[in-house]
């Protein structure tokens, strides 16, 4: 299995003003991330607007990212869904496309029980022989996958990691204690990612890495290596940006930030709308703080 960890960007899907995918900008973003030291690319996760891409677009973004990366770093395909059969279909395609692993969000809106979550992820693991990363994000899905359920799933060979985005260090501690020998724990919350890695987490699937890839790579490397002083110094620089990128629901602020940086066009798909003007200067100031704009 390809090594996963470090700063893994939850990549935006760049779009033109009319909402169509901007394939040229996608290629430019991939090359930039590789040059800046990003450790892995997550294609078509929540930040990549998975909820509003059609099946064919979803498949094609994954295919293009795999082709563009060309083995230079791991590609994790976002293939979760709230229907188990749909998630299996997306995951099978990602394997055929050459993705190194898949990111599987907890089923959203239908709010399954813990047993339902276990059976959903068990079915995915049995159906597709590819490394799988579970994704717990209760603020988005309406369901919280509890540590005891994660521990059950950690016994399955091709379930290799969990992206935990609850934003609770207490939860991270418990997960590492229960599953740390069998499952890599990745942060899915940039604001607490540094501390998560200092206590044993293996990386961060990051929104902030979209706009500050070099700093995020350096911070994650220091934290994973236990270099607290260096990690804290870097993270202090990033905290303002972590906050600014969630002034409105993700990916609204991060797409606007990348547009302000000249890296993508203005496109975002309904029902998401462009960043409200009252937040523009706050995001600009955060970008200036990390040297992303002048």
Give the count of alpha carbons within 13 A of 43, CB side only: 30
Contacts of 33 (CB under 8 A, 6+ apart): 9, 11, 41, 73, 209, 213
The structure tokens listed for 111 are 């709010």
Backbone angles phi, psi at 102, to 5 degrees: -125, 145
Active-site residue 95, yes or no?
no
Q: Are 102 and 130 in contact (CB under 8 A)?
A: yes
Q: Are 120 and 91 in contact (CB under 8 A)?
A: no
Active-site residue 166, yes or no?
no
The one catalytic residue among 95, 111, 118, 163: 163
The one catalytic residue among 108, 118, 135, 259: 135
Q: Are 38 and 209 in contact (CB under 8 A)?
A: yes
Residue 102 carries which DSSP code? E
Binding site, residues? 47, 205
Peptide bond into 271 cis (omega under 30): yes
Q: Angle, nearest 10°, between helix axes 114-127 and 84-97?
A: 30
Distance, CA of 154 to CA of 165 (rounded, Å): 17
Binding site for pyruvate, residues? 47, 205
Q: If you search the block for the tokens 């099946």, which residue do you land on?
A: 55
Contacts of 36 (CB under 8 A, 6+ apart): 213, 214, 217
**Any idea which residues carry the catalytic annotation?**
135, 163
């Amino acid at each position: 299995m390809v090594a996963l960890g470090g700063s893994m960007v939850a990549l935006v899907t760049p779009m033109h003003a009319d909402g169509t995918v901007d394939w040229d900008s996608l290629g430019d973003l991939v090359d930039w991330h590789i040059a800046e030291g990003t450790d892995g690319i997550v294609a078509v996760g929540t930040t990549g607007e998975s909820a509003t891409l059609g099946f064919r677009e979803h498949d094609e973004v994954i295919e293009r990212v795999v082709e563009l990366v060309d083995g230079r770093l791991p590609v994790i395909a976002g293939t979760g869904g709230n229907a188990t059969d749909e998630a299996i279909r997306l995951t099978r395609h990602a394997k055929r496309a050459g993705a190194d692993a898949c990111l599987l969000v907890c089923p959203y809106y239908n709010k399954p029980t813990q047993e339902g979550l276990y059976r959903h992820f068990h079915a995915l693991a049995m159906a597709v022989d590819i490394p799988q990363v579970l994704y717990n994000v209760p603020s988005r899905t309406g369901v919280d996958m509890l540590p005891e359920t994660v521990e059950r799933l950690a016994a399955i060979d091709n379930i290799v990691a969990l992206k935990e985005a609850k934003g609770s260090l207490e939860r991270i501690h418990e997960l590492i204690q229960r599953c740390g020998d069998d499952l890599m724990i990745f942060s899915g919350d940039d604001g607490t990612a540094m501390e998560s890695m200092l206590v044993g987490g293996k990386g961060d699937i990051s929104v902030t890495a979209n706009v500050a890839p070099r700093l995020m790579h350096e911070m994650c490397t220091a934290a994973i290596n236990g270099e607290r002083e260096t990690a804290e110094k870097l993270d202090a620089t990033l905290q303002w940006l972590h906050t600014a990128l969630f002034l409105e629901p993700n990916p609204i602020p991060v797409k606007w930030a990348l547009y302000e940086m000249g890296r993508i066009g203005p496109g975002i798909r309904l029902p998401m709308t462009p960043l409200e003007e009252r937040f523009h200067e706050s995001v600009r100031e955060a970008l200036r703080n990390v040297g992303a704009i002048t």
